[in-house]
Structure 1
Amino acid sequence: MSLFRQIWLAVIASTVIAFAGSFLASMLTARHYLEQQLAIKNNDNAASLALAISQLDKDPVTIELQVAALADSGQYAVVRLTDPDGKTMIEKTSPPLAGNVPDWFVHLFPIPSAPGHAQINNGWNQFATIELVSHSHFAYQELWSGAFKLLGWFTVAGGLMGLLGMQLLRRIKRPLDAVVGQAQAISERRFISIAEPTTPELKSVAGAMNAMVDRLQAMFAEEAARLEQVRREANLDALTGLANRAFFMNQLASALSDDDAAPHGTLLLLRLADLAGINRRAGREMADELLRRVGQALVGIVGENPNAAAARLNGADFALLLPGVPDAARFAEKLLRLLNDLVAAGLIDSERIGHIASSTYLHGHAVGHLLSRLDTALAAAENQSGLAWQQADNQSDQQASSNADWKKLLDGAIRSQRLRLIEFPVAGSGGQLLHLECPLRLQAAEDGEWLAAGSFMPMASRLAMTAELDLAAARLALERIAAGASAVAVNLSGESIIDAAFRARLLALIGSRKELAPRLWLEISEVGVFQHFPAFQAFCDALRPLGCRLGIEHFGRQFSEIGRLHGMGLDYLKVDGSFIRAIDSQSGNQAFLKGLCSIAHNIGLTVIAEGVQTQAELATLPELGFDGATGPAVPRS
């Protein structure tokens, strides 16, 4: 039995006991009062009759008429006249009068009528004694009527007390529900704080719970900070804060091979000329400041382009990866201005400054081929005097389409439902199928090729058309589940979840097939989550009651933000493939990923590795704590 029900029953029981006691006390008091009134009436009327007879002649007829007149009034059960020797002279009795008082009430509250006595004198001598006994039915009727009135008042008062008690219990229950909800959230690894109530006892409980949540959050924050430092040491250049060569090569490989990567992009290389000479002539501090300035400039470019990545490949070489960018001119000119500013600041010898090379690429190109083209272009730039930017020969046959062309293509595909899902297995550490990862495909024209999401989603985002595509993906996923799929995961865009209308339509779509919702996995990329965090939180709050599984994909680059996920009620994380590549041989990333899995498990999250390429990588993942994996190395069942 719930605490609320127990308190409510205790209030009812105490109220009933109090009212029953009050009712019984009132009835007994009223009965005693009526009994006294009957006794007083009997005595008073007996004295009055005795005085009247004492003043009359004592002939039998007159006395009997007086007694009969009193008896015939119907108020007395017995009127008796006895002589001084106790012999009955006259006696008048009448049967009990019928009334509407039930017999059980008469037996429960008897009202005895005490007889009244008075002496009748004849001069100075006693003539006789008169005895009067009143009928009790009038008293019973009055007591019965009073009982009804008292019961009615108690009923009204009980109702009022019940309403008051209900409000009081609700006031008590509200903070108790908050504490229970907080405890339930903690059991689900969601750490939330609640407002402390004004009631001292409840305030102490809520305060203790909040303090525990704060301590847990502090512990996770400390562990997250430690692992963030491990990640930086394993993947970033200590001086500039840019990615190191190994991690950048993983990012480049992902950009060229991942299914949802942009279909094209640009890669730039920047080489500082004569860094060793600058170090020798100006000193190490000056050389380090030069490298930091270049690193800050590249970090600024990456911050303005969320999908971009920058790295320090070695002492003097820097790289900038720009997925989805077909023209490097704007970025190359920005870097050239940076080099000029460094010359003006005296950080670079004006005779030898630096060189830039750029090349476009297509999805599917080989990493080695792309870097070879860039090396050739960089060599050509080095043969020029002063600042130089050299573009590699553009071997891409891709022609950029206008926004109008893309809008027409996307509208046509959506209207004609030229959309489908393809599937890749996501397997657990024991080999069992966790779910099917189902990216969206779009057919450009009737009987045309099917485009990967990376080919059309960037343009859909630019044209604010992601909502319709994401709704179509969710609908296709539900249809696949209804057809027998155990579980299906689809990706939603960050641009979609900030749209309240999209969230409402998605909620209605899933709500209409609520029985399928527990097998639907919805995931948003890390970039979209943290760019639109309040909208993502509203998205999770709305969909969680339906039972959907909610997660983040491509996770890891913003690992320091993991503390913000404590109260989200997420189900899983998919770790970005750039952390997974060659994980069997990278001890630094192994330590980071092992800690990531530990923290994620502590807040109730399943951790899945993306883009697993080799069996060696796959075999290493369970040792690090991963619960599952997806990628080319995961066999299809």
Structure 2
Amino acid sequence: MSMYRQLWLAIALSTLLALAGSLFASIMSSRAYLNEQLKMKNTDNATVLALSLSQKNVDATELELIVASLFDNGHYQSIRITDPKGKLIVERVASTEQSRVPAWFMSLLPIESPPGVAQISNGWMQVGTISIVSQTGNAYQTLWASTREMILALALSGILASYLGSLIIRRLKRPLRDVIEQAKAMVERRFITIEESKVPELKQLSIAMNSTTSLLKAMFAEEAERLEQLRRQANTDTVSGLYNRSNFLAQLQITVEEENAPPGSLILIRLSGLIEANRVIGRIKTDALLRNLGQTLNVFQNELPDGFAARLNGTDFALLSRQTAIDDIAQSLTQQVIQQFADTGAEVQVFIGYGTFEYGISPSILLSQVDAAVASAEASKQSSVFKAAPLNIEHAPKSLEEWSKLIQRAIDQNWVRLDYFPVIDQARQIIHREAALRLMFGGEWFPAGRFLPIAERLGLTSQLDLIAVKLALQEIQSSGNTEQVSVNISSRSINDNDFREQLKIMLNAKPESSRLLWMEIPEVGAFANIDTFRNFHQAIRKCGCKIGLEHFGRHLEQINVMHDLNLDFVKFDVSFIRNVENVPANQEFLRGAAGILHRMNLIVFGEGVSSEEEFNSLSRLNLDGLTGPYIGKIIKA
């Protein structure tokens, strides 16, 4: 039996015993009072009648008339007069009294009517003895009525006491329930704080639990910050604060290979005369100039979608992003960099080249095209910016109107499908399969990276995400609900109320399949609007599917935000995976971050594994599963 029920039972029993005791005492007191009243009445009436008869010299006939009159006008059970020798002179006895009081009540609480006895005298001589016994019917009626009234009053008191007891239990139950939920959340590695109770003892308990929660959150935050510093040291340039060359090349390859991502742009910056400036103004001032340049590029990096700024070597810098309209950005960046070096008097020239790309271009071709633009700028012998020649990419982007017609027609004609990629555990067993949406244009199946940017501009991402979920549920159902499938959900979709409602309807229609569905939301999108993501998660989590973050790892310092999200899994971004066998710091970062996430009861995956070396290194880092091109090869083999 729960503590609350035991407390409620104790209050109920105490109240019941108190009320029963009060009722018993009241009834017995009333009964005793009525007995005493009857006794006094009998005695007083007998005395008065005897005194009246003593003052008159009445004969037997007149005496009988007086007794008869008194008996008929009063409520007497019997009136009896005897002579001094005990011989009966007059007697009147009432028939059996009729009463509306239940017989069981009279039997349980008998009321006695002791006879009142008085002496009739003539002067100093005793004439006789009178005995009067009153009827008990009115007394029973009075006791029965008062008992019912007392029962009603005590019942109302009991109800009021029960209500007050409920309020007290509820007042105690709420903070205790909060503490229990907080303890359960701690077991699930979610660290939430609760409101302090107004009950002194429970207030101390809630304060202690909140302090424990804050301490654990701080420990996780400190460990996350340490790992974040380790990641920065391994992947950033110490002077400019930008990402280093190896990290940039990995990110560039990921950017152009990610089929679900939109096209983007690359800007290369080359500083000429930096060595001479270092000799003239000194290393300290030169390093300060490079730090200022790094801060400038960081500003652009934060403002551009998926911006990524890096220092490639002593004089070359790069800015990678998902924005294609960068003519004005390149010009603005050029002016700012030129002005920074002009203000110092250092004779440093700035040459900038830029170009755009889309899914399918080779990283080496992209770099050579943009580097050619930088070379053209250098050929001008003065600080300038040049745009790279159009890249020769097969299936070049069509006009917005044409793309719109193609996408809408593919949706209307149901020219849609999912391609699947395995996610395996350490034993090389498939955990689930990642689903990638494909649309057919002109008889050819196109990857998501080719049409998603246009679909996003047309506001069709929510519709495409619903199609992907529908196809995934059908695939799970067709497998007999034995396979698990993961789908990608865009950040824009989770902000759409209509999308959330339609998704709930779709999932609730197939509850068995929904429990085998995984949903991945990009980390940057989730953290950009954490409240919206939390609302989406709470709405969809009840349907039974698993929800996690993909491209994870760049916001590990915000791990405190994740404690109350109750996520199921995360997938580390491929930038931490690429060439991990050659970067010990990234190995340490992944191992440490996986340890933190495991303590939060999260499943941890690595994405984008492309080689056997990466696979072998990651297998030693305590990750729960891996996915990527190499995983597909070994599963097929």
- Which range, TM-score by smaller chain? over 0.9
Map of 1:293 onto structure 2: 292
| 1:552 and 2:567 are equivalent in the alignment | no
The CA deviation string for residues 21-53 of structure 1, in whole angstroms up to 9 with x for no partner, is 111111111111111111111111111221232
Q: 2:474 aligns to what?
A: 479
Give the alignment of 1:175-324 within 5 angstroms: 175-262=175-262, 264-323=263-322
TM-score norm. by structure 1 comes to 0.93
Alpha carbons 2:305, 2:321 under 8 Å: kept: no
Q: 2:337 aligns with which of 339, 343, 356?
A: 339
Q: Which amino acid aligns with 1:282?
A: I
Residue in 2 aligned with 1:366?
A: 362
Q: What letter is aligned with 1:443?
A: M
Within a 5 Å distance, the mapping from 1:5-404 to structure 2 comes to: 5-72=5-72, 75-262=75-262, 264-323=263-322, 325=324, 328-346=326-344, 348-349=346-347, 353-397=349-393, 398-404=395-401
Q: Is the 8 A contact 2:289 2:341 kept in 1?
A: no
Please state if 1:587 is matched with 2:584: yes
**Cα distance change, pair 2–407 in 1 and its aligned pair in 2 (3 A):** farther
Deviation at 1:217, TM superposition (A): 1.4
Structure 2 equivalent of residue 440 of structure 1: 437
- Please report how far the alpha carbon of residue 72 of structure 1 lies from its aligned counterpart in structure 2 after TM superposition: 4.6
Task: Give the secondary-structure state (helix, strand or coil) at the position aligned to 2:269.
Answer: strand
Measured at CA, do residues 621 and 281 of structure 1 come closer, stay the same or move farther in structure 2, by a change above 3 Å?
A: same
State the 1:387 CA deviation. Answer: 1.8
2:615 aligned with 1:614: no
In angstroms, what is the RMSD of aligned CA positions? 2.3
Residues 85 and 505 of structure 1: is their aligned pair in 2 closer, same or farther, counting only changes over 3 Å? same
Matched with 1:627 is: 624
Letter aligned with residue 558 of structure 1: H
Q: How many Å apart are 1:73 and its aligned residue?
A: 5.2
Give the number of aligned pairs: 631
Query: Which residue matches 2:501?
Result: 504
Deviation at 1:399, TM superposition (A): 3.6
2:420 corresponds, among 399, 416, 423, to: 423
**What secondary structure is seen at the aligned counterpart in 1 of 2:118?**
strand
Structure 1 residue 323: deviation in Å? 3.5
Query: Is 1:462 equivalent to 2:457 in the alignment?
Result: yes
The separation in 2 between residues aligned to 1:200 and 1:512, in whole angstroms, is 49
1 CA distance for matches of 2:206 and 2:454?
49
Aligned 8 A contact 1:253 1:367 in 2: yes
> Aligned-pair distance for 1:377?
4.5
Aligned partners of 1:342 and 1:348 also within 8 Å? no
Distance 1:136 1:289 in 2: 113
Q: Would the alpha carbon gap of residues 70 and 515 (structure 1) be closer, same or farther in structure 2, given more than 3 Å must change?
A: farther
- Farther off after superposition, 580-589 or 197-206: 197-206
SS at match of 1:623: coil
Please state how far the C-alpha of 1:6 moved relative to its aligned partner: 2.6
CA distance in 1, matches of 2:557, 2:608: 22
Give the 3-state SS of the residue equivalent to 1:521 in structure 2. Answer: strand
Structure 1 residue 379, shift from structure 2 partner: 4.0
Distance 1:365 1:460 in 2: 21
Q: CA deviation at 1:630?
A: 1.0
Cα pair 1:193 1:213 within 8 Å, conserved: yes
Q: Which secondary structure state, in structure 2, belongs to the residue aligned with residue 624 of structure 1?
A: coil
Quote the Cα distance in structure 2 between the aligned partners of 1:359 and 1:111.
Answer: 112
Percentage of identical aligned residues: 42
The separation in 2 between residues aligned to 1:339 and 1:155, in whole angstroms, is 87
Asked if structure 2 preserves the Cα contact closer than 8 Å seen for 1:361 and 1:396, the reply is no
1:528 to partner: Cα distance:
0.9
> 8 Å contact 1:30–1:143 — kept in the other structure?
yes
Deviation at 1:365, TM superposition (A): 3.2
Question: Which residue of the partner structure matches residue 596 of structure 2?
Answer: 599
Contact 2:116–2:132 (8 Å) recurs in 1: yes
Mark the CA change 1:347 to 1:633 in structure 2 (over 3 Å): closer, same or farther: farther
Quote the Cα distance in structure 2 between the aligned partners of 1:50 and 1:615. Answer: 127
Cα distance in structure 2, aligned partners of 1:415 and 1:146: 83
In the TM superposition, what whole-angstrom CA distance separates every residue of 1:88-124 from its partner, at most 9, and x where no partner exists? 4444433441323333322321211122111101222
* Residue aligned with 1:561, SS: helix
**Aligned residues of 1:240 and 1:295 also touching (Cα < 8 A):** yes
Give yes or no for contact 1:526–1:554 (8 Å, CA) kept in 2.
yes
- How far apart are residue 574 of structure 1 and its match? 0.7
SS of equivalent residue, structure 1 residue 298: helix
Query: Given that residues 225 and 556 in structure 2 are in contact (C-alpha distance below 8 angstroms), is that contact kept between their aligned partners in structure 1?
Result: no
Task: Give me the whole-angstrom Cα distance separating, in 2, the residues matched to 1:354 and 1:98.
Answer: 122
Question: Which amino acid in 2 is paired with 1:341?
Answer: Q
For the residue of structure 1 that corresponds to 2:15, the secondary structure is helix
CA distance in 1, matches of 2:406, 2:2: 59
Q: 1:134 is matched by which residue type in structure 2?
A: S
Q: Which deviations, in whole Å up to 9, do the C-alpha atoms of 1:341-380 show, x marking residues without a partner?
A: 134212531xx51322334444333333433444454444
CA distance in 2, matches of 1:413, 1:559: 39
AA aligned opposite 1:482: Q
8 Å CA contact retained: 1:339, 1:353: no
Letter in 2 for 1:216: L
Q: Which sits farther off after the overlay, 452-461 or 396-405?
A: 396-405
Amino acid paired to 1:102: P
Please tell me the residue identity of whatever aligns with 2:352.
I
The AA in structure 1 aligned to 2:274 is: L
Amino acid at match of 1:531: A
1: CA distance, partners of 2:608 / 2:490: 20
Letter matched to residue 304 of structure 1: E
TM-score (norm 2): 0.93
One-letter code of the match for 2:6?
Q
Deviates more, 1:368-377 or 1:186-195: 368-377
Equivalent residue, structure 1, for 2:532 = 535
Post-superposition Cα deviations, 1:235-258, rounded to whole Å, max 9, x if no partner, equal 111222211111111111111223
1:139-190, Cα deviation, whole Å (9 max, x unpaired) = 1122112212222222233233333333343333333332222222222222
Runs of 4+ in 1 over 6 A off after TM superposition: none
CA shift, 1:543, in A, is: 2.1
Question: Equivalents in 1 of 2:104, 2:288: separation in Å?
Answer: 105
Q: Could you tell me which amino acid in structure 2 is paired with residue 476 of structure 1?
A: L
In 1: Cα distance, 2:322 partner to 2:32 partner: 99
Corresponding residue SS for 1:126: strand
The CA distance in 1 between the partners of 2:50 and 2:460, in whole Å, is 112
Contact conserved, 1:254 with 1:261, CA < 8 A, in 2? no
Q: How far is 1:133 from its partner?
A: 1.8
Equivalent of 2:409, from 396, 408, 412?
412
1:247-299 CA distance string (max 9 Å, x none): 1111111112233233x433332221132222122110121122112212221
What displacement does 1:382 show? 3.2
Q: Decide whether the 8 Å contact of 1:185 with 1:192 is kept in 2.
A: yes
